[in-house]
Amino acid sequence: MSVLFYNFESEYLKNNHFVTVILPDKPRTLTSKQFYLSGKKFKVLWLLHGTFGDSTDWLRKTNIELYAAEKDLVVVMPSALNSNYSNWDGSMMGFSMFDYLTEELMPLIYGWFPVSDKREDNFIAGLSMGGRGTIKYAVNHPDKFAAAAVLSAAPQDFSKLGPGAPGLLDTENPRMKNTIANAGGLEAFRNSNENVWAIIDKLAGTGVLPRLMFACGKNDMLYPVYLAFKEHAKEIGLDAEWFELDGYAHEWRFWDIAIQKALSFFGLDGNHGGNPF
């Protein structure tokens, strides 16, 4: 594969920003002109990292380059800091991570790289914080993605937000407290694009949503959150794929397995790209 470490000044993030891009191999059976000037547009996976990560995480800690090579898939991995893939207008000069992906990075990739902008050729996935970002993008921009894979994360019921609530629903949790303040308060937060649970309630069964997959290790600290949403999905008739494994926690070994499952779920089966060695 070709791996590009791309740096540019972002309008939405107000700084120089790193993106890692995996591009398909030129088959040895083709000349450079035949391959690079073919005009072919490749399918693309928008792949999101978790808390404490950056655009190199997936490349360094999984075999995503190999899997992409086998499938002639472009993979785009942005850096999001610990933003929760949200807009932070009051941070520094502004750090609009949610808008950045769809309003800046996607047009950039479509314009400068051999990537298809058709919905049926675009997929999104992420782990942990990146999983929360994935489902947020999928339900707020369902016209942009054919399918989404949420790894080690799941929507939560914001009606249960409050002091002392379990896990990330605890409004005294520093991360949640800052996120709510950033949204303009608790009610504004509940009525924002962050409330994926409520948005799914409205869109389930309408045919609007992308195809959805949720995956979690059974030893993951977030497994109860995953199970709670899985039960809710059944109640509202949400059609989704569920993938669970015994013996795996919140860890890269699970995410390397889960991303392979996700690529299959996306319909990217088969080894039709890349060079054999």
CATH of the domain at 206: 3.40.50.1820
Enclosing domain of residue 19: 2-265
Tens-digit pLDDT profile for the chain (277 aa)? 799 999 999 999 999 999 999 999 999 999 999 999 999 999 999 999 999 999 999 999 999 999 999 999 999 999 999 999 999 999 999 999 999 999 999 999 999 999 999 999 999 999 999 999 999 999 999 999 999 999 999 999 999 988 988 878 888 889 999 999 999 999 999 999 999 999 999 999 999 999 999 999 999 999 999 999 999 999 999 999 999 999 999 999 999 999 999 999 999 987 777 786 7
Report yes or no on 275 lying in a domain: no
Please provide the DSSP assignment of 39-90 as one string.
---B-EEEEE--TT--TTHHHHHS-HHHHHHHHT-EEEEE--TTSTT-EETT
Residue 199: inside a domain, yes or no? Answer: yes
270 falls within a domain: no
Number of domains making up the chain:
1
Report the run of H or E that residue 245 belongs to, with start and end: strand 240-245
The Cα–Cα gap between 78 and 81 comes to: 10
Query: Has residue 272 been placed in a domain?
Result: no
Q: Taking every pair of C-alpha atoms in the chain, what is the biggest distance, in angstroms?
A: 63
Is 273 inside any structural domain? no
Residues with Cβ within 8 Å of 38's Cβ and at least 6 positions away in sequence, in order, are none
pTM of the model: 0.96
